[in-house]
Amino acid sequence: MSETKLIAYAVSDSTGKTAKHLMESAIGQFPDSEVQIKSFSFVRSLERIDEIIEKAKADNAIIAYTFVKTEMREHLNELAEKNNLDYIDMMDQPLNMVEKRLEVEAKEEFALKYKLDEEYFKRIEAMEFTLRFDDLNESKGIAEADIVLVGVSRTSKTPLSVHLSYLGYKTANVPLVPEVDVHPSVLENKDNKVVGLTIDPELLNDIRIERLKKMGLGDDATYAAKERINQEFEYSDSIMEEIGCPIIDVTDKTIEETAVEVLSYFNE
């Protein structure tokens, strides 16, 4: 196993998601490098900052942080500079911009607890729905879904469905298999909520071979055979053409990129 070349700290007086996502986005541009992210959430005292800086020194870490209190930001900045640690204050400029435009000083209060509001419950309901109707060719899920994904096996239907559900969309996904008839409501697509997924056949072949290896099976199984894959694509192409649904090629796309493309059809 290769050694970690860099350690990044995501520090916040709240959940730390913003700082962590920033680090993940930056690190994603260096796919061949080993980088570890350590999160420190609900940091609300100067003493806790002192402890984190000591850890950062030992790790020679870079630091991204979000603090609403000026005192805490200045304290971390001072210690980071004193210890020659690279850091980025993700709140200073946004706060200053808003203060300047509104001509009102920030209250500098710790983030309020998440409200269990309508959007929260909508997201939870969507996630439960999506897990319940994962990889099923069943009328209830198709009828109640906001989005229905169709495609052959290993075209990222499940992870994409889960991501869309986190965004609040009830998502059902239906596998397209030559030996199984697609439910009539999918073919009818009365609500125009079906989206097809496709992928480069060569890449799909590689993905399926890896899947078989993880399952402890040989790579010569029919599931990964090129003849079988071609047969499945012929079937899925014919089904998607019959439905008349938009088709997204997920080759070399991240789940997030595909989700944006899926939602673009509905936002239109």
Q: 12: annotated binding-site residue?
A: no
Structure tokens at 62: 């870079």
According to the model, what pLDDT value does residue 180 have? 92
| CATH code that applies to domain 6-102 | 3.40.50
Same CATH topology for 6-102 and 118-265?
yes
pTM: 0.58
Q: 151: annotated binding-site residue?
A: yes
> 82 pLDDT band (50/70/90 cuts)?
very high
Q: 264: annotated binding-site residue?
A: no
CA–CA separation, 138 and 152 (whole Å): 16
- Domain 118-265's class? alpha beta
To 5 degrees, how large is the angle CA 212–CA 173–CA 160? 75
Most confident of 27-31, 108-112, 135-139: 27-31
Q: 55: annotated binding-site residue?
A: no
Task: Please check the confidence at residue 92 and state whether its pLDDT lies above 50.
Answer: yes
End-to-end CA distance of the chain: 47
Q: 254: annotated binding-site residue?
A: no
On whether the CB atoms of residues 208 and 229 are closer than 8 A, the answer is yes
Q: 156: annotated binding-site residue?
A: yes
Which amino acid is it at 255? I
pLDDT (tens digit, 9 = 90+) per residue, 199-234?
999 998 888 888 788 777 766 567 778 899 999 999
Q: Which one has a higher pLDDT value, 47 or 123?
A: 47
Q: 244: annotated binding-site residue?
A: no
> 110 pLDDT band (50/70/90 cuts)?
low
Q: 158: annotated binding-site residue?
A: yes
CA–CA separation, 173 and 164 (whole Å): 11
